[in-house]
Amino acid sequence: RILGLNDLFVENAEPDFMISDRETYWSSSGDYLLYRSESTNTWGAAKAKRFRQIRQGQSTGIAHSPEGFEIWQTASPMLGKKPWREWDAESGKWITRQGSGVESRGKVRKKQAPNDKEIQTESRGEQKATQTDAH
C-alpha cells in the first residue's frame, strides 16, 4: 500500500512534462505523478524522481489503472471504480488493491503566495485535477 498516492494530483500539460503525447498529473507533495502508458493501455503512477525513466520507457511505475481506463472518463462509473494494481516490492508481484483508483475529478485554482502586504490574491486560471485513493 503506497500512501503517497492518496493525494490531489494536478495536471501539467507543458510539453516538457508530457508522456506519450499526454498531460501528466503531479501530486501536491511533488513526490508522485500519473501518466498515460501506451504500452499497457493504462494510466500509471510513479515516483516523480523516475520521470525521465518513465518517459524513456525504462520504468513501469508503481501502480496502474485497469486496462482501457481514461482518467477523465465519467460516462462509465463502474470502470472508474475498478481497482488499480500496485507493485508490492516485498512480494515482488503486482497486487490488486480493492477500493483504489481515482476518487474524484474536477478543477482547482492555483494557490498564490501572499504578497508583501499579507493580502491573498486570487488566480483566475484553472487546472484539471484528480483525487486518487489507494487503499
Q: What is the pLDDT of residue 100?
A: 79
Of 32-36, 46-50, 69-73, the poorest mean pLDDT is in 69-73
Task: Quote the Cα angle for 103-109-76, to 5°.
Answer: 30
Confidence of residue 82 (pLDDT cuts 50, 70, 90): confident
Residue range 99-135, pLDDT digits in tens:
777 776 777 666 665 554 444 444 444 556 566 665 5
CA–CA separation, 19 and 25 (whole Å) = 10
Bridge partners (DSSP) listed for residue 132 = 102
Confidence of residue 72 (pLDDT cuts 50, 70, 90): confident
Grid cell locating 43: 494510466
Grid cell locating 48: 516523480
- Percent of the chain past pLDDT 70, that is, above it, reads 72
Query: Do the beta carbons of residue 91 and residue 105 sit within 8 Å?
Result: no
Mean of pLDDT over the chain? 79
pTM: 0.73
- The set of long-range contacts for 42-50, using a CB threshold of 8 Å and a minimum separation of 24, is 42/66, 42/67, 42/68, 42/69, 43/69, 43/70, 43/71, 45/2, 45/5, 45/84, 45/132
Q: What is the pLDDT of residue 123?
A: 42
CA–CA separation, 11 and 112 (whole Å) = 17
- What number of helices (H) and strands (E) belong to the chain? 2, 9
pLDDT at residue 68 tops 80: yes
Task: Quote the Cα angle for 19-43-32, to 5°.
Answer: 70
Q: What is the mean pLDDT of residues 26-49?
A: 93
pLDDT at residue 52 tops 90: yes
Burial 96-122 (b: 16+ CB within 10 A, else e): ebeebbbeeeeeeeeeeeeeeeeeeee
